[in-house]
Amino acid sequence: MSRPVRARGMMSAAYFKIVNTSDKPDTLYGVKADFAEMAQLHESFRNDGMVGMKQVRFVIVPAKSSFEFKPGGYHVMLMNVKEDLKVGKKVTLRLLFKHGGTVKVAVPVRK
């Protein structure tokens, strides 16, 4: 899912689950979104009661396993969104994998 955005230029976050059915691990090293100026892989953290987030360069999905992007954890940060993301709409992200190549995911916009 992706967070709704009421106006252009705002930020949003996207969450989804990656399933690796292969018997080899794969590395997600980037993400692209046509509807945002920049998309980054982010990790949320909690440190001494402080919450924040930081960019991560890659995420490893183990063989025959899955990796979930979820609120409070890993997410795709979408910067300077170019269009209104209304609840109920679907947006497409392209995930760049070292072995799997480019994989498209459609995520619904949800609150």
Instruction: Compute CA distances 14 → 51, 61, 98, whole Å.
Output: 18, 18, 21
22, 30, 43, 77: which one contacts Cu ion (CB under 5 A)? 77
Give CA angle at 100 (41, 65), nearest 5°: 75
Which span sits near Cu ion by CB under 5 A: 23-31, 56-64, 75-83, 98-106? 75-83
Residues 38-67 that bind Cu ion (CB under 5 A): 42, 53
Give CA angle at 103 (31, 89), nearest 5°: 75
Q: Does 96 bind Cu ion (CB under 5 A)?
A: no
For the CB of residue 36, give the shortest distance to Cu ion in the complex, in Å.
12
Which span sits near Cu ion by CB under 5 A: 59-67, 76-84, 91-99, 101-109? 76-84
Single-letter amino acid, residue 25? P
Which span sits near Cu ion by CB under 5 A: 2-10, 27-35, 70-78, 91-99? 70-78
Determine the 3-state secondary structure of 71 from DSSP.
coil
